Chain A
Amino acid sequence: MRKGAPFDLDAVRTHLATEEGARLWRSLEELSDAPEVRRYIEAEFPDIVQAASIDRRTLLRLMSASLALGGLAACNGSEAGKNAPLLSQSRNMPGYTPGVPLTVATSMPLNGYGRGVLVRTQEGRPIKVEGNPLHPASLGATDVFAQAEILSLYDPDRSDTPLQNGAPRSWEELTNFIRPVRNELVVGEGRGLHILMPPTSSPTLHRLMAQARQLFPFAQWHLFSPVDDDNRRIAATAVFGRDLDFVYDLTQADIIVTLGGDLFAEEPGHLRYAADYQTRRRMQDRPLPGLYAVEARLSLVGARADQRIPLRPRDFEDFVQVLAAALGVGSAPSSAPHPSVSKLADELRRAGARSIVVAGREQPARVHALVHAINARLGAFGTTIRAIDPVRPVSADTGTLVDLAEAIESGGVSRLVVLGGNPVYTAPADIDLASLVRRVPLSLHLGQHRDETAVVCQWHIPELHPLESWGDLRAFDGTVGLRQPVAMPLKPGLSQEEFLGLLAGQGPDGRALVQATWHEAWGEGFEERWARSLEGGVIEGSASPLVALTDRFDVAAELEARTNSAGIDVVFAPDPSVWDGSYANNGWLQELPKPLTKLVWGNAALIAPETAAIFGLSSGDAIDLTVEGRAIRAPVWILPGHAPGAVTLTLGYGRQRAGRIGNGIGFDAYAVRPSRQPWIASGEIRKPGERIPLISTQQHHSLQGRDIVRVVAPGQSAVGESPEHSSLYPEWPYEGHAWGMAIDLDACIGCNACVIACQAENNIAVVGPEEVAKGREMHWLRVDRYHAGDPANPGTYFQPVPCMHCEKAPCEVVCPVNATVHSSEGLNDMVYNRCIGTRTCSNNCPYKVRRFNFLDYQGTDYTASPDAMNPQVTVRDRGVMEKCTYCVQRIGAARADARVEDRPLRDGEVTTACQQSCPTQAIVFGDVNDPGSAVSRLKQSPRNYALLGNLNTKPRTTYLARVEPSRENG
């Protein structure tokens, strides 16, 4: 603070810290009368003061300015980031006993929407993310991104200090630099100030944005996300006259038609939708629902669909128009209707209100408009679809990235604040944001990494990880989940909330900011409700209410129809592993085999077998893809079921400044992404005759006629005349518990959540691209993917394969040193410290689920931080075998609890990591000795069968056959 200023700012601040929201302002006003305050202000803003007698409003603004920026200096991270053991601090936590993991409910953002999670922390260190059963978007399940946040939190490449033109600066220096800038902005009421941030659902952020608007009336706000929903907004606004979000209730649906997108992977509510669809399938009293997927690229929902209709992106509009016409909406276009439209129309008409049509976010506005019309005609609104106010509201005066680009062009931007995100990397190709930002006199970036955006901005401020900071997020249905820190900041930084708080003069205390929001909202009874919401992770009854619709469905025509240029359709899609690129530096996700291609450590241009034949391409061949004059070179991957005449590019790769793991992997699809048609463009393919190596963990797609994945008609048995194999060996008795697992192939959607949950729970090493290419990945649980039938439109089957824990385990018999033996409860135990590494056990495992530490995989650049390790699980040494343990540490923990409470273990008390993360409850674990247990009941099902049962290894893990109605007449 200024020398000689007789005014103790800190004292004021501490005084104010107890105040919140409105009260804060009141006490400020009281203060403003104090003479020493005036003197202080005069000292701070001499130019203004002498300019004129300052009115009350300006004075308040100036005060908040100085107060706020004083606060910025406070977070110089002196105590944070020291990795000091949190034990002493944790002791003060209610209900904490050292050694016993503590679970904290919070919310994780993805594309601005929230997913409720429970984070398990050990001595103050987050080690595992689970779903929050109370949260509507989770219901206890998680997706790969939420699971992987643990690794992102401990990412060594996270930026830890402010940068000025790349040079490290202390927080004081930052404060001293910004204070005058901000003061001058305050005076100028935000003229020339532009703020770019990703769309958000956070009420607190929106409140702070409003506050900031008051303070900087002339500041211009821009929202940008590479995974945008603009087409939806345009359509909704056109049809219903206002922006809306739509929430689907698949439990009500008998017929589901999806047009592009991926209902089970890319929607804000994807976990919930997958769960609901499975709930619907499990309803015994109603016939199986019909799921029809019209799509260009094979997706998870397409893989699960009863019927897939591969369709070239440019044909969607006609298709939907014909469908609409068949249902009596609008008129059919001249072009010939798609053969299967009439069948689809009949199905929909039959199901009526119990049907639903969903269009993916990449579809043009016209398609969305037509879909609204169809749903309305079917009466779906109110039964299977709820319209709600947009969860990520966008105020009318908010600009886009394009607007920002134009503003900078015209020199109207003097101050640019990039609040989170990495727009310089994710911006469409025709917006050269890097050079534009460089032209701005002063640019400032808040971000977790020194990424592409950080390096072009003059100032970079480290951003806190969502697990380290306060906030709140709305889920797909509007339900609010509070975000609370589960660990002290590993590295000093600010959250978006805190930064906006400072900007808006509300101080840098994230907790206070969020509390202020809800204090305003709730008024009385705040404390009790706040505590309850923190504990539960969700604010009860905060789901958005249904909105009454006033519609005009004839607008489709008004919306601009796409102009079909020649060439091949180029579809852009978020990547199943790195989303929009923000997870590029996450080893778990990079090494996670993508659900349908099983590609790791890179992306590929996905094309249909037919397209490949036309261009004479095979997987791994490079193509030069030109879109609007810009070209990239990318390897192709032949994806069975992909629509011909189209190529799908997944975003998020080819990053230059992601970090030690994510740099230079794959190709950058943004480099050809046009801002006019960010989702579906058209381009040209040339074949340079070069090969770019791709790494896939599964080479063969066909079942080769073996009954590995069994498919039955409803009610049919998976095993014919069940051949009860006789054995020479006497039965081994298992008194007490006998652990077993059942995996329902009818429920599995192949989303990979189980794989990465297993990796996080069991400290499984990331081995890196070279090792995976050699066939040495370490995943204890893999999801095999098979295609059956015509490659142009095959059936797709997923099969998670963990250790089967065979009762007659072949692996154990060949181990010379008793390093793998059976436990009294039938677990196939692996004794790491006894293993000498002969690898014979793997030879003798017909399922090949054993993994070997060929090298010291825990000592590489890919190794996760020791803090991220689960202390309950041994970290394996070089030269030893490892494999799925049925999460034996969880069994042990549950047994200990039961013993302490002197009671038997309850069914469902032990859940394996894979089971817990599964959105569709496809994996069930329990005691097969207990006839009443869930797993026993599943194993009673006629669909139950043992994989490779003819080998008579008596696996404890069995599968439930997938159900396909089409098998009845087949």
Chain B
Amino acid sequence: MTHPLYGLMAEFRSPDALMDAVKAAKRAGFTRLDAFSPFPLSDLAEELGVRTTVIPWIAFAAALIGAVIQYGSQYWMNAVDYPLNVGGRPLDSWPAFVPATLIVAILWAGAATLIGLLLILRLPRLHHPVFAVHGFERVSNDRFFLCILSDDPLFEPAATRNFLNALSPENVREVPACG
């Protein structure tokens, strides 16, 4: 083990096996865990303590900002910066300004959420240590992986490898850190 490790990766056949493995790892006190699966596993996410509540807040805040900016600009442009007598209507025809305000609020919410998502997930990231693991490509198909990262305080290559082997995975492989 001369070259540095990113972590150790155990491969499982089923989501339930992965679930048990994660529980075990946590019991063993490992904190720096990451799990990979071909489809979303909400309960496992909870187990790993993933909190996604920020998403709706992003949407809400963005919607609010979008709405304010849209109505504000409509008001400022038509009533303040360049006021014109248009069909004898009031300069601030607020009912006519509402539809666009709503639409743009949704635009901001939608765009912000999805773009925010990528930022949170640090995507795009085309190169990642886990991709180096032999057989990891099946994560997008029918295999489930648990990875204990090397920066875990309890991480100690040999011991951790034994621990993982104890969880009866398909196999345990090293995840080399990329220089």
Contact = CB atoms under 8 A, between A and B. Distances in A.
B85 interface: yes
A263 interface: no
B84 A822 contact: yes
Contact of B87 (A730, A809, A824): A809
B88 interface: yes
Interface in B79-102: 82, 84-90, 96
A729 B90 contact: yes
Interface in A706-730: 729-730
Contacts of A954: 88
B88 A818 contact: no
A954 B85 CA distance: 15
B6 to A, nearest CB: 56
A808 B84 CA distance: 13
Interface in A789-835: 806-813, 815, 818, 821-824
Contacts of A809: 87-88
B71 to A, nearest CB: 18
B90 A822 contact: no
A817 to B, nearest CB: 11
A729 to B, nearest CB: 6
Nearest to A810: B87
A824 B83 CA distance: 12
Contact of A730 (B86, B90, B96): B90
A813 B90 contact: no
Contacts of A822: 84-88
A732 B84 CA distance: 11
A260 B66 CA distance: 74
Contacts of B88: 729, 732, 807-809, 822, 954
Contacts of B85: 732, 821-824
A818 B90 CA distance: 15
A823 B87 CA distance: 10
B90 A821 contact: no
A806 B88 CA distance: 9
Interface string A429-440: 000000000000
B156 to A, nearest CB: 69
A822 B86 CA distance: 6
Contacts of A818: 82, 84, 86
Nearest to A813: B87
Nearest to A734: B85
A807 B85 CA distance: 10
B84 A811 contact: no
A412 to B, nearest CB: 76
Contacts of A815: 86
Nearest to B86: A812
A810 B87 CA distance: 6
A824 B84 CA distance: 9
A730 B93 CA distance: 11
A21 to B, nearest CB: 65
A815 B88 CA distance: 14
A954 B82 CA distance: 25
A225 B90 CA distance: 63
Nearest to B77: A818
A736 to B, nearest CB: 14
Contacts of A807: 88
B153 to A, nearest CB: 63
Interface hub of A730, A732, A806 (most chain B Cβ within 10 A): A732
Nearest to A821: B84
A194 to B, nearest CB: 69
B51 to A, nearest CB: 45
A685 to B, nearest CB: 54
Contact of B89 (A729, A811, A823, A824): A729
B87 A812 contact: yes
Contacts of B89: 729, 808, 813
Interface string B6-49: 00000000000000000000000000000000000000000000
B94 to A, nearest CB: 13
A807 B86 CA distance: 9
A561 B90 CA distance: 74
A427 to B, nearest CB: 59
Contact of A808 (B82, B87, B96): B87
Contacts of A730: 90
Interface string B91-128: 00000100000000000000000000000000000000
A822 B82 CA distance: 13
Contacts of B90: 729-730
Contacts of A808: 87-89
Nearest to B82: A818
Contacts of B84: 818, 821-822
Interface in A728-746: 729-730, 732
A810 B89 CA distance: 10
Contacts of A810: 87
Contacts of B96: 813
A732 B85 CA distance: 8
A813 B85 CA distance: 10
Interface string A62-85: 000000000000000000000000
B75 to A, nearest CB: 15
A952 to B, nearest CB: 11
A818 B82 CA distance: 10
Interface hub of B86, B88, B89 (most chain A Cβ within 10 A): B88
Nearest to A826: B85
A729 B92 CA distance: 11
Interface string A307-324: 000000000000000000
Contacts of B86: 812-813, 815, 818, 821-822
B55 to A, nearest CB: 35
A732 to B, nearest CB: 5
Contacts of A811: 87
A823 B86 CA distance: 9
Contacts of B87: 806, 808-813, 822
A811 B86 CA distance: 9
A805 to B, nearest CB: 11
Nearest to A727: B88
Nearest to A844: B87
A85 to B, nearest CB: 40
A811 B87 CA distance: 7
Nearest to B96: A813
A804 B86 CA distance: 15
Nearest to A731: B88
Nearest to B95: A728
A818 B91 CA distance: 13
Interface hub of B84, B86, B87, B90 (most chain A Cβ within 10 A): B87
Contacts of A821: 84-86
A807 B87 CA distance: 6
A813 B78 CA distance: 12
Nearest to A811: B87
B68 to A, nearest CB: 22
A809 B82 CA distance: 19
A345 to B, nearest CB: 57
A100 B86 CA distance: 34
Nearest to A733: B85
B57 to A, nearest CB: 35
Contacts of A732: 85, 88
Interface hub of B84, B86, B90, B96 (most chain A Cβ within 10 A): B86
28 contacts: A729-B89, A729-B90, A732-B85, A806-B87, A808-B87, A808-B88, A808-B89, A809-B87, A809-B88, A811-B87, A812-B87, A813-B86, A813-B87, A813-B89, A813-B96, A815-B86, A818-B82, A818-B86, A821-B84, A821-B85, A821-B86, A822-B84, A822-B85, A822-B86, A822-B87, A822-B88, A823-B85, A954-B88
Q: Which 3 pairs across A and B sit closest by C-beta, in order of nearness?
A: A822-B85, A812-B87, A813-B87
Given A809-B88, A813-B89, A822-B84, 13 more contacts: A730-B90, A732-B88, A807-B88, A808-B87, A808-B89, A812-B87, A813-B87, A815-B86, A818-B86, A821-B84, A821-B85, A822-B86, A824-B85
Interface of A: 729-730, 732, 806-813, 815, 818, 821-824, 954
